[in-house]
Structure formats: C-alpha cells, structure tokens
Amino acid sequence: MSREHPLADADATERLARGLAASRPPRAVVWLEGSLGAGKSTLARAFLRELGVAGPIRSPTYTLVER
C-alpha cells in the first residue's frame, strides 16, 4: 500500500499545509516523511507561517542531520 498522494504543485502543498494548520488540535505532532524533493520543507514552512512564525524556517530534514 502506497502512502504517497502527490499534489499538483507547490501551491497545492501550501494550501494543504494552511488547511492542516487551521484545523489542528491545540497540541499536535506532525510527522513528515518523504524522499528528497517531496515537498516536506514547503509544507513545513507554509504550516508554520499559518501559525504565525515569522523567522527563518529550516528544512525539517536538515534539522535532523545537523550537528
């Protein structure tokens, strides 16, 4: 069973992220999984911007491997 559900483009990914941010419970954990270039950073940035984060947002993958 595939877990991949491709979105048409970055705009579609950002719309999904904004919708997720708007409908999330007060305390939520978000798990992003995907290959390089799958759109994890695009989704994370749009999600966090919708929540009001104004500063720099690093790639979620980069944060995991960064020392």
Give 10-residue mean pLDDT values along the chain (67 residues). Answer: 72 96 91 85 94 87 62
Report residue 40 as tokens. 């994890």
Report residue 32 as tokens. 């992003």
For the whole prediction, is pTM greater than 0.85?
no
Query: Alpha-carbon distance 24 to 30, whole Å?
Result: 10
Q: How far is residue 35 CA from its own chain's centroid?
A: 13
